Structure 1
Amino acid sequence: MMPPEFGATPWGRAWVRTVESTSTAGPNAQLPKARTLARNSTTVVAAGAGHVEADVTVSGEVCRVRLDLPVWSDETQAEAGRLVAKAMAEHRGMVAGDLPDTLEEDLRDHAINIAVPLEEQPGSCSCRARKRPCVHILAVIYALAQLVDERPALAVELRSATANAAGAGAGAVDWIALSELEPAGFYGD
């Protein structure tokens, strides 16, 4: 069985649950289109402490979306920091940007929410849709879930007032472009 495209990890699933709530009367008819837009037309421009900015392109028109996310209180942030440090000490050698899946459960057990409920996300979109959240905002949340699946530390950075805000592109990944490597010295002398 293949893992889900959105919410493959507990970190991303927390964000997917914000739009795919089981407490609503019926399914949201916008979700299939939002998933398609997230898959094919959404570019997260910046994601960091308290905000996500993205462009969603539909039929050549770019809709600019911004989600403002409440950061944790000082007490919550201190407790989250303690839990992260403990988890990282127990899981030495993790790749930069990764967090153990068990940490997400530990945070939940301490009533520390990673994802922000949809009604608590003041979002804005440049589209003319009257219904909020519009399909573009939903697409950005799905795209965010994918980013969080790829780099779970982003889930903590989004809610942390002291996190280093990193764009989803530059600085957010820990890799080096092949063009920056010196071929002669790559394999040693």
Structure 2
Amino acid sequence: MSPRPTPRSAPRVRPGPDDLRRTFEAVPARTSRDGEPFADSWWGRAWVTALESLSMDGARLARGRAYADEGQVAAITVTPGRVIAYVHGSRVRPYRAELRLRTLTDPGWDTLLDAVAARPGDLSALLAKEMPYSLAATAEGAGVRLLPAADDLDPSCSCPDHGRPCKHVAALCFQTARLLDSDPFVLLLMRGRGERELLDELGRRNAEHSARERPAAPATPSVAAEEALAARFLPPLPVPLPVPPHPGQPPSYPDLPGARDPLGLDHLATDAAARAHTLLTTGRDPLAGLTAWQDAVRLAASRPTAGLTATTRALYRELAYATGRTTTDLARAVAAWRQNGAEGLAVLETPWDPPAGPFDRARPALAAAGHPRFTPWRNHLTHPNGSFQLRFGRDGRWYGYESDPGADDWWPRAAPDPDPVAALQALLAGDSVPDGFDADPSYVR
């Protein structure tokens, strides 16, 4: 089966009153080069070949092709055995061009439909608006000519030219080839049957064909209801298998041409195994309720960031792009996630107003420990030099942040602590950075 090219200009169709009448709106003008096939699909070119075989005058064909290129063919109406359109010529009033062709007989349709129903690939191709070579060849071998020959076509026109065909009918034929490019069911309608009728009939015949080829199912032995419901001893269920101490490792994935990234697959499989192990051991889903952004941060945080590989850099870029963030945003969020998961990320992204209590007692405690007076804003306490900041989380712990002086570019640094003094000391000492965190955000660029 040859793949059907995408038509250069697919015509729009106006629905008719039934399945046996289709009207296609006029196609805009286009430019075709000399020697270039007018149709894109092989079945559209076969239609053009039949037209060229019918004509004895190449000049009329050339003029008709020019009319079609110039968009002088108005809306085309297709019914069984007939194609009609008005074509604008040299006069103000357009001419009525018509092309008749033989329709298939009922025995011919039976032969064709049986051939399609017996070949699922041909049926799939038709549903995809393609005309497989095998279908036309099978029909031809059974004596059913689906594609037209010159003796199948009977042209007529209201113009005074008595050529067979005249340039107006030739233009109609060329434009019809473009209809066939976009929908081979147009050819089947010309041959006598509409798309809905054909699809219903093909579905029925395909089901009958499949039923004939399917082996008969073995008879299922029956059991009397009294016997099935009788009280009897049931052995105890087997003891559950012991829970493994760690998630299992996924298999190795081969690096095949065109296949998915094996390292990416390994990462997803490892993540799924860890999630399943958590469900098995705790009964809780660690991902329940996470947003797409939180899950992206979680995935990035599961990779080591010290000495990043190209694969991990690519993962950061893809996760950032998928969530509409920058890689710097993602790196900052990963540092917050490593502080305390989703709660640490919320401290980074969502300022809030804590109630009276621990937050109010933090500044006197810091002053008593010899530290300068911190500036409060919502749940933030900022060092006077603008380099250090403590953020109070909804979990009652203090999270350390650091920025270049005056930059307002805060990055999570120290592990959280319920005591603001201890959290600040860890931040100043620089000894509580989460494992694997690289302090330079440029590592993901």
Q: CA RMSD in A?
A: 3.0
Change (3 A) 1:113 1:10: farther
Distance 1:107 1:44 in 2: 31
Q: Which residue of 2 aligns with 1:144?
A: 176
Q: Is the aligned partner of 1:45 residue 2:45?
A: no
1:120 to partner: Cα distance: 3.7
**Which residue number corresponds to residue 107 of structure 1?**
139
Q: 1:61: which partner in 2? A: 93
Q: 1:132 to 1:47 in 2, by over 3 A?
A: same
Is 1:156 the equivalent of 2:188?
yes
Report 1:1-189 matches (<5 A): 4-21=36-53, 28-40=58-70, 41-59=72-90, 60-87=92-119, 89-90=120-121, 96=127, 98-102=129-133, 103-160=135-192, 162-163=193-194
Cα offset for 1:117?
3.2
Q: What is the rounded CA distance, in whole Å, between the counterparts of 1:93 and 1:36 in structure 2?
A: 36
Change in CA separation of 1:43 and 1:129 when aligned onto 2, cut-off 3 Å: same
In structure 1, what is the Cα distance between the partners aligned to 2:96 and 2:167? 12
In the alignment, which residue of structure 2 is the partner of 1:184? Answer: none
Uncovered stretches (5+) of structure 1, i.e. residues with no partner: 166-189
CA distance in 1, matches of 2:68, 2:85: 10
> Which segment is superposed worse, 3-12 or 56-65?
3-12
Distance 2:114 2:154 in 1: 29
The residue type equivalent to 2:63 in the other structure is K
Aligned sequence identity (%): 24
Letter in 2 for 1:75: P
Instruction: State the alpha-carbon separation in 2 of the partners of residues 113 and 36 from structure 1.
Output: 30
Higher relative contact order (CA 8 A, sep 6+): 1
Q: CA deviation at 1:52?
A: 0.4
- The code of the aligned residue for 2:112 comes to A
AA at the equivalent of 2:42: P
CA distance in 1, matches of 2:42, 2:61: 20
TM-score by length of 1: 0.70
Q: CA deviation at 1:44?
A: 4.0
Q: 1:111: how far off?
A: 3.6
What per-residue deviation string (whole Å, max 9, x for no partner) do you get for residues 86-130 of structure 1? 44x226765857134232333334343234334443322111113
CA displacement at 1:46 relative to structure 2: 0.6
Secondary structure of the structure 2 residue equivalent to 1:37: helix
State the AA in 1 paired with 2:67: L
What are the ranges of 5 or more consecutive residues in structure 2 without an aligned counterpart? 1-32, 197-445
Cα 1:164–1:96 change in 2 (3 A) is closer
Computing the radius of gyration from Cα coordinates, the structure with the larger value is 2
Inter-CA distance 18–38: structure 2 relative to 1 (3 Å threshold): same
Please list the CA deviations of residues 53-89 of structure 1 after superposition, one character each: whole Å capped at 9, or x if unmatched: 11111243311112222101111111112233344x2
Is the partner of 2:88 in helix, strand or coil? strand
**Cα distance, 1:16 vs. partner?**
0.6
Distance 1:99 1:84, change over 3 A: farther
SS in 1 for 2:96: strand
Separation (CA, whole Å) in 2 of partners of 1:94 and 1:116: 20
Q: CA 1:117–1:101 in 2, change beyond 3 Å: closer, same or farther?
A: same
- Give the direction of change, closer, same or farther, for the CA distance of 1:92–1:159 in structure 2 (3 Å limit): closer
Change (3 A) 1:93 1:105: closer
